[in-house]
Structure 1
Amino acid sequence: MAKNFASAGDLADKKISFDEIGRDLWAFTAEGDPNSGVIIGDESVMVIEAQATPRLAEKVIEKVRSVTDKPISHLVLTHYHAVRVLGASAYKAPTIVMSDKARAMVVERGKEDWDSEFVRFPRLFQGHESIPGLTWPTTTFSQSMTVYLGRRRVDLMFLGRAHTAGDIVAHVPDANVMFTGDIVEYHSACYCGDGHFHDWPGTLEEIRAFDPDAIAPGRGDALVGRDMVNEALDLTGDFVLSTYQPVARVAQGGGSLKEAWDACRAECDPKFSDYAIYEHCLPFNVSRAYDEALGIDTPRIWTAERDKQMWEALQG
């Protein structure tokens, strides 16, 4: 390859923040690294997103134990990506929840995604030796599922395709707080390599319809207050459209992937170049947008070898 993916050189530790965004609701964030969420009920705790390895998961557990000694009964995984799910064994949670579609994607492409992300994100996979294997849910659902942590209710919902075909959100009605996974980002690039550009804006509007008081996004700062929530929804929507539209014009006009890359950079660099993981996401985003513009509805499976071929085509 002409040069490594951007995240291959990102080896500096990130500052962890742990913010209460509603009563007994916490957002674990780390300067653009994958976020986790914590929901404390009367009897037990639900964690949203496992992190990439058991080593990283222990950092989340340490923060949980700083605010409660209640057992972790549920681990909710908003989608199938390796950096979100492979730390699951550390929680020892008896119930691990995914959507039906997310589980199907683990079957279809979970090992390939693990191999691909391992090369892309070396820092996140430090301590990978402790990963026991692919993460499998104990419970799945199609459209919605309600969990009671004692009296506290958590609604898990599929609101539409976006970051992947199987994304779910967690909504806590008593506080009107939502955990969105990578459907929503804040000053962090959206990874669209497995995304659905046409559906994503509508899914954002489904989230907006809840008028949340706070959101824990997939990456970036916790969003507290309706102004910050709506700003993040607007920025995420703008990122998705600004990525897709110039690429689609090139693809549908018979242009090359490299020409689509150049068109996307011209549109997105002025607005998003300072976003976390922007340079890392860009080649995958352009490739997926190019495919979708040509009518490929199901994202092609990323493998370590396909990553290299794509990057060489763009850098050659």
Structure 2
Amino acid sequence: MTKQFASAGDLAEKKISFTEIGRDLWAFTAEGDPNTGVIIGDDAVMIVDAQATPRLANKVIEKIRTVTDKPIKYVVLTHYHAVRVLGASAYGASEIFMSEKARSMVVERGQEDWDSEFGRFPRLFQGHESIPGLTWPTMTFNDRLTVHMGKRRIDLMFLGRAHTAGDIVAYVPDENVMFTGDIVEYHSACYCGDGHFSDWPMTLEEIRAFDLDAIAPGRGDALVGSGMVNDAIDSTADFVMSTYRPIARVAQGGGSLKEAWDACRAACDPKFADYAIYEHCLPFNVARAYDEALGIDTPRIWTAERDKAMWEALQG
């Protein structure tokens, strides 16, 4: 390899923000690192996405304890990626929710994803020795599950494939707020290495149809107000399709992965080069878009070995 992945050199600590986006609804954000949502009900707390390690999860717990002493009873995992799920044990929750499809992906590729992400992004795995193993849900569902926390209702929903095949959102009707996981990003690149480019824009439109007052996205600042919400949905859709279209033209024309990389950079660098984790995501996005354009519907499993082989091909 001529150089390492961009993420391997990203070692600077990020500034943490803890923003109330609705009554007793909070977004834990950190300058493009994975976000965590916090929903406070009448008698308990629900976490949306757990962080990569128990050590990082404890930073979320510290913020929670500045606003409530209610017990953390529920963890919702919007998808299966290691940086979202492996910190779940820190919360001591009695229930862990995930879509049935996401659970099947843990079975199929959870360990490989852990190994791959650990190699790509070492800073996000601070305290990795405290991870007890793969995170498994206690309850799964296919399309919709409603959780009642006293008078507060939370609707967990599968709205369509996007960042992965098993993405879910958490919607809080009484405040018209949604926690979207990585379906929506804000001034952060979308990681599309396990994505479904053709479906993603339609899933974004399903979210837009809620006419939300606020969103806690997967990465980037909390989105408060319809202006920020719609801007983020628009920019996420633009990122996804600006990535896919030039790559698809190259792939379907018989071009190489390296040619697809060059075409993607020409289209995306002018618009997105300053987005968080852009360089980290780019090679994985190119590889997945190339596959999808050639009719490979199910993303191939990423392993540390495949990461390296792909990167070497792109380095020419």
Report the TM range for the smaller structure's normalisation. Answer: over 0.9
1:11 is matched with which residue? Answer: 11
2:79 is matched with which residue? Answer: 79
**Seq. identity, %:** 84
The alignment status of 1:152 with 2:152, answered yes or no, reads yes
- Aligned equivalents of 1:212, 1:156: Cα separation in 2: 15
2:186 is matched with which residue? Answer: 186
1:124 is matched with which residue? Answer: 124
- Aligned equivalents of 1:84, 1:126: Cα separation in 2: 14
Give the superposition deviation at 1:252. Answer: 0.1
2:95 is matched with which residue? Answer: 95
The alignment status of 1:52 with 2:52, answered yes or no, reads yes
**3-state DSSP of counterpart to 2:280:** helix
**3-state DSSP of counterpart to 1:2:** coil
1:196 is matched with which residue? Answer: 196
Q: Runs in 1 of length 4+ with deviation above 6 angstroms?
A: none
Q: Map 1:234-249 to 2 at 5 A.
A: 234-249=234-249
Q: Map 1:198-237 to 2 at 5 A.
A: 198-237=198-237
- Aligned equivalents of 1:89, 1:2: Cα separation in 2: 38
State the one-letter code of the partner of 1:117.
E
1:34 is matched with which residue? Answer: 34
Give the superposition deviation at 1:48. Answer: 0.3
1:301 is matched with which residue? Answer: 301
1:136 is matched with which residue? Answer: 136
Give the superposition deviation at 1:78. Answer: 0.1
- Aligned equivalents of 2:307, 2:291: Cα separation in 1: 15
- Aligned equivalents of 2:7, 2:283: Cα separation in 1: 12
Give the superposition deviation at 1:270. Answer: 0.1
- Aligned equivalents of 1:226, 1:135: Cα separation in 2: 34
- Aligned equivalents of 1:78, 1:169: Cα separation in 2: 6
2:267 is matched with which residue? Answer: 267
Aligned residues: 316
- Aligned equivalents of 1:283, 1:314: Cα separation in 2: 8
1:254 is matched with which residue? Answer: 254
- Aligned equivalents of 1:270, 1:21: Cα separation in 2: 31
Give the superposition deviation at 1:228. Answer: 0.3
2:105 is matched with which residue? Answer: 105
- Aligned equivalents of 1:38, 1:126: Cα separation in 2: 22
Residue by residue over 1:202-248, the C-alpha shift from the partner in whole angstroms, topping out at 9 and shown as x without a partner, is: 00000000010000000000000000000000000000000000000
- Aligned equivalents of 1:210, 1:72: Cα separation in 2: 27
Residue by residue over 1:83-139, the C-alpha shift from the partner in whole angstroms, topping out at 9 and shown as x without a partner, is: 000001000100000000000000000000000000001001121000000000000
1:287 is matched with which residue? Answer: 287
2:164 is matched with which residue? Answer: 164
State the one-letter code of the partner of 2:111.
K
Give the superposition deviation at 1:74. Answer: 0.4
Residue by residue over 1:8-31, the C-alpha shift from the partner in whole angstroms, topping out at 9 and shown as x without a partner, is: 000000000000000000000000
- Under a length normalisation based on structure 2, what TM-score does the superposition of the two structures give? 1.00
CA-based RMSD: 0.3
State the one-letter code of the partner of 2:206.
E
2:277 is matched with which residue? Answer: 277
1:62 is matched with which residue? Answer: 62
**3-state DSSP of counterpart to 1:140:** strand
Give the superposition deviation at 1:2. Answer: 1.0
- Aligned equivalents of 1:148, 1:46: Cα separation in 2: 11
The answer for unaligned runs of 5 or more in structure 1 is none
- Aligned equivalents of 1:145, 1:42: Cα separation in 2: 19
Residue by residue over 1:178-221, the C-alpha shift from the partner in whole angstroms, topping out at 9 and shown as x without a partner, is: 00000000000000000000000000000000010000000000
